[in-house]
Amino acid sequence: MTILVTGATGTVGRHIVSHLVEAGHAVRALTRNPGKASFPEGVEVVGGDLAATDTLQAAFEGVTAVHLINFGGDDYAPLPNGKEIVDLARKAGVRRVTVLGGWDESTLEPALRDSDLAWTHIRPTEFMSNLLKWADDVRAEGVVREPFGEATTALVHEADIAAVAATALVEDGHGGKVYPLTGPERLTTRDKVRIIGAAIGKEIEFVELTPEQARERMAAQGMPQELIDFMIEVFGNVPEEANRVNSVVLDVTGHAPRTFAQWAAENADSFR
Ligand SMILES: NC(=O)c1ccc[n+]([C@@H]2O[C@H](COP(=O)([O-])OP(=O)(O)OC[C@H]3O[C@@H](n4cnc5c(N)ncnc54)[C@H](OP(=O)(O)O)[C@@H]3O)[C@@H](O)[C@H]2O)c1
């Protein structure tokens, strides 16, 4: 029984790989650059491009469960070939599928809905690791500059997202479910800054930007306009699902979700 993990070099995928390996499963990791990727011992590495179905034959051979990302490419373009991937998975004998998605669907989700595969939609709120974007300014100047200091999110640790996906890949009973994932608490932007400061033993200054200043800053950093609009919209008006703490991580994995203080302690060196 081989489990295929796509996005295996990514923020969540690499935790899924570790989780499955530690639990003793046979894991095959897909990457576009097998020569560059490094995985735990025992992981079978396979080359392939998710957006090019004809490169995926070897990856799916003998696979019974697969974790899928729903984009293909560094610009996160939605996968155009979802139906072909689902057909390939069915022919290979796949039974369980997890999909990590954002707000928008690709062609993958409708193709899975139309199939007889047991698939689980993993829908995390804000990843704790997003806040590594503050690391350069904290190291250089001891400051975080953001808009919406009082906006709250129930952000989630990437290892908890992975633990939920890994469970759904190896256990029955998760097919047809949508799992919105949050951490254990709602935190304001100011709270997040304070908690990182506590982890590095240093007070971090918080400079609240106006939305207009934030737009200019993100544009100067080279962020695409679409992403800038998305960030301002989401943090100016955080969706209910991202703000309401839920118990899915605990219910699915049997473990309480990790706190942001734990994440900050694990990642303190990035901010020092
Ligand atoms: N950040 C958040 O707060 C947040 C919240 C909710 C949902 N999400 C969703 O989470 C997803 C991003 O997950 P992540 O942060 O774990 O990803 P990530 O760290 O950005 O990693 C991207 C991964 O995708 C792989 N990849 C990209 N194009 C590929 C292709 N054509 N073929 C095969 N592999 C390809 C890369 O592998 P190689 O380079 O090795 O090929 C890499 O492993 C997005 O769907 C996003 O919408 C994010």
Instruction: Write the pLDDT tens digit of every residue in 65-108.
Output: 999 999 999 888 999 999 999 999 999 999 999 999 877 899 99
Could you tell me which of 101, 217, 111 has the C-alpha nearest to residue 161?
101
Mutate to test the pocket of ligand 1, among 69, 164, 181 (most ligand atoms within 8 A of CB): 69
Mean pLDDT of 129-144: 98
**CB of residue 9 inside a 6 A radius of ligand 1:** yes
Residue 38: how many other CB atoms lie within 10 Å: 8
The kind and range of the H/E element at 226 are: helix 225-236
Angle formed at CA 136 by CA 134 and CA 141, multiple of 5 degrees: 95
Q: Output the CA 10–ligand 1 centroid distance in Å.
A: 6
Type of residue found at 6:
T
Task: List the residue whose alpha carbon is closest to atom 38 of ligand 1.
Answer: 31
**CB of residue 197 inside a 6 A radius of ligand 1:** no
Atom of ligand 1 nearest to the CA of 13: 16
pLDDT tens digits for 174-209? 999 999 999 999 999 999 999 999 999 999 999 999
**CB of residue 148 inside a 6 A radius of ligand 1:** no
Q: 249 and 156 in contact (C-beta within 8 Å)?
A: yes
Q: 29 and 41 in contact (C-beta within 8 Å)?
A: no
Type of residue found at 23:
A
**CB of residue 147 inside a 6 A radius of ligand 1:** no
Q: What percent of the chain has pLDDT over 90?
A: 96
Q: Which domains does the chain have, with CATH numbers?
A: 2-116 (3.40.50.720)
Angle formed at CA 172 by CA 166 and CA 174, multiple of 5 degrees: 70
Q: Output the CA 57–ligand 1 centroid distance in Å.
A: 21
Atom of ligand 1 nearest to the CA of 32: 41
Q: What is the pLDDT of residue 101?
A: 85
